[in-house]
Amino acid sequence: MRVSSTGDPVADLLIEGRASTLDEAEQLYIDEHLAELPSLVASDLSDAEFRRHPLVALLLARGSRPWEDSLA
């Protein structure tokens, strides 16, 4: 696993040039780390820690975007 230089793995993908847009970086991060989700669910993380994990936070945020966009 690579060490994040900014503390934000999505921003790191943009800085590294692996993605050219925020949406592309988010999708790339999800694609590369989705297999980790079952381990996170089964972990001893508290609910708050689980929700703060970058993968979980991103999945939760992206999941609500179509609904939020429809309100605009």
Exposed / middle / buried, residue 11 (Cβ in 10 Å: 0-12, 13-18, 19+): middle
Q: Enter the pTM of the model.
A: 0.77
Per-residue pLDDT tens digits for 15-36 = 999 999 999 999 999 999 999 9
**Which residues does 20 contact at the CB level (< 8 Å), separation at least 6?**
14
Q: Does 46 score more than 60 pLDDT?
A: yes
Tokens 């994990």: give the residue.
53
pLDDT digits (tens, 9 = 90+) for 4-14: 688 899 999 99
- Residue spans of the domains in the chain: they are 9-71
Task: Locate 40 and state its tokens.
Answer: 């996170």
